[in-house]
Structure 1
Amino acid sequence: MASTSAKSATSFTAATTNASPTGAQAIDRAGALLVSILDSGTASGRPPHVATLARTHDLPKSTTSRLLSALERQGLIQRDRDGAFHPGPVITRYARSGQGESALATELRPILQHLALESGETVNLAIAGAQYVDLIDQIDGRYLLGARNWVGTPVPYHASALGKIFMAFGVTEIPVGRLEKRTPFTITSHESLSAELAQVRTRGFATIVDELEEGLTAIALPLFDGAHRVIAAISVSGPTSRLSGGTVNEIVEMMIKAIGQPGEAGAA
């Protein structure tokens, strides 16, 4: 009996000893994956996929997938429609604290609130990100239909009104390579996109109709600084069933009155 008890105790000790390094190793690996995802936004500019991360860190793909899922559940990372990984809402929220984006959002929030109240629709503030439009603030309108939190969501430039503003006014270039087809109405031709951006520059505002999501329409205007540089963009968005025809023109007029004529230092 004593021999059996001693053997059991030895086995228990060994199992416990082996478990601790495994837990620590999992944390180390998850941390390394998170760092790679954060670094991808400033290095290659291409968000990594599971296979890339597994290869980079010499891990089985199944292990990599489990660790990424754990990070995703905690809001530390998020994956886009292509399966690529980006910093999650928790990371972006803390990254913005104390930075210029937070100050800009605070300064412009009264304008967003005014537009949301007057239009009844969702209003967003965005800046140009490395790979996607970076939505940094949102005020929801009075309608429940169409309300969604876009802050922290990777939004492609070519399929969004905000993105068209940044491309049209030279803040960022037209994406190279294939343009993702988000809906049957997404512009996927570089020639068609260039023509669209020329119109945006001429009229001073951008629109999308069912291009990012079917049933979603958005209107965006640029915000200029004192040196006539586009520093941000504001959009009003809602269901296409509500934002059509003359309603779009009415909202453009609301936005112009709220932020100033396109081409002026509306953010000042």
Structure 2
Amino acid sequence: MTTPVGSQAVDRASALLALIVESGGPRTFTSLVDELGLAKSTTSRLLQAMERRRLVQRDRAGAFRPGALFSLYAARPSALHDLSELARPTMEHLSDVCRETVNIAVPRGSQVVQIGQVDSRYVVGATNWVGVDAPAHCTALGKVLYAYGALTPPRGNLERRTAHSPMDRAQLDHMLVEVRRRGWAASLDELEVGLAAVGAPVRAVDGGVVAAISVSGPTNRINDLGITKLGDLLVTELRGLAALLGHQPRKEGVA
């Protein structure tokens, strides 16, 4: 069956746009032609049309990057809702496996803002954390965002909610080194005695961390699940979510 000309043009434009958006950096005209295998005239015509519609734009060197429409979308409040909805299936799967509360949070200024939650299957532990303000250094979500540069760690004295909370910046920095080494963060009785959480990063196209997802519940139940096992599960599951956001991890040996 022959593909209609109009559909073929849409397919080619979509592939070209996806390549620019998912590359994580500016793309030269030559690299786009080589990778997609389109004729130079076709590629040029499609890029000009997308430029007019603000889907792509050129930098000072003439390379192509995502256009103004993507920046406008990212700045809209609804973008957070869309991120939460995109993460929902992953969060629900984690909830099915762990039966505990699953949250997603993003950095906003110096704060951790929780934008979505899947409730615990247990009566104890079904607190709604969306909109709750908590010291980020006492939370798994906050530690993830600190560790990967999405938030700047606090200076000066740290608020201690319990005897298990980080005492000072030096202790917090040591914790963040461990987060980067393992790929996940834990908070055990640090925000409140009897409450524990494990969190991991959500990466976008360029590999930057744009959000964090955690599993939380009573400390005894989280310990029963296994802290390391839960951390590794989160890292594995969130790779799939990152892929939906366009992130493609570099292969070993590839610069």
Q: TM-score per shorter chain, which class? A: 0.5 to 0.7
Q: How does 1:19-38 map to 2 (within 5 A)?
A: none
| Higher mean C-alpha displacement, 243-252 vs 194-203 | 243-252
CA RMSD in angstroms comes to 2.1
Percent identical among aligned pairs is 37
Which of 228, 236, 242 in structure 2 is aligned with 1:249? 228
User: 2:8 is matched with which residue?
Assistant: none
Amino acid in the other structure paired with 1:157:
A
Q: Is the 8 A contact 1:223 1:233 kept in 2?
A: yes
Q: Is the 8 A contact 1:228 1:265 kept in 2?
A: no
User: 1:176 is matched with which residue?
Assistant: 155
Q: What is the CA-CA distance between 1:180 and the residue it aligns to?
A: 0.6
Max radius of gyration: which structure? 1
User: 1:122 is matched with which residue?
Assistant: 101
Q: What is the CA-CA distance between 1:247 and the residue it aligns to?
A: 1.8
Q: What is the distance in 1 between the residues matched to 2:244 and 2:195? A: 26
Q: Is the 8 A contact 1:164 1:200 kept in 2?
A: yes
Q: 1:231 to 1:160 in 2, by over 3 A?
A: same
User: 2:207 is matched with which residue?
Assistant: 228
- Is 1:152 the counterpart of 2:131? The answer is yes
Moved over 6 A (4+): none
Q: Say which SS state the counterpart of residue 241 (structure 1) adopts.
A: helix
Q: 1:267 to 1:159 in 2, by over 3 A?
A: farther
Amino acid in the other structure paired with 2:117:
Q
Q: 1:127 to 1:258 in 2, by over 3 A?
A: same
Which of 82, 94, 102 in structure 1 is aligned with 2:81? 102
TM-score by length of 1: 0.60
Q: What is the distance in 1 between the residues matched to 2:222 and 2:245? A: 25
User: 1:185 is matched with which residue?
Assistant: 164
Q: What is the CA-CA distance between 1:267 and the residue it aligns to?
A: 4.6
Aligned length: 172
Amino acid in the other structure paired with 2:159:
E
- Is 1:207 the counterpart of 2:186? The answer is yes
Amino acid in the other structure paired with 1:119:
C
User: 2:250 is matched with which residue?
Assistant: none
Q: Is the 8 A contact 1:159 1:187 kept in 2?
A: yes
Amino acid in the other structure paired with 2:170:
E
User: 1:141 is matched with which residue?
Assistant: 120
Amino acid in the other structure paired with 2:169:
H
Q: Is the 8 A contact 1:223 1:267 kept in 2?
A: no
Structure with greater contact order relative to length (CA < 8 Å, sep ≥ 6)? 2
Q: What is the distance in 1 between the residues matched to 2:108 and 2:77? A: 18
Q: What is the CA-CA distance between 1:131 and the residue it aligns to?
A: 3.2
| Higher mean C-alpha displacement, 200-209 vs 183-192 | 183-192
Q: 1:26-76 deviations in whole A, cap 9, x for unaligned? A: xxxxxxxxxxxxxxxxxxxxxxxxxxxxxxxxxxxxxxxxxxxxxxxxxxx
Unaligned stretches of 5+ in structure 2? 1-74, 247-255
Q: Is the 8 A contact 1:134 1:155 kept in 2?
A: no
Q: What is the distance in 1 between the residues matched to 2:163 and 2:237? A: 33
Q: What is the distance in 2 between the residues matched to 1:266 and 1:254? A: 18
Q: Is the 8 A contact 2:110 2:151 kept in 1?
A: no
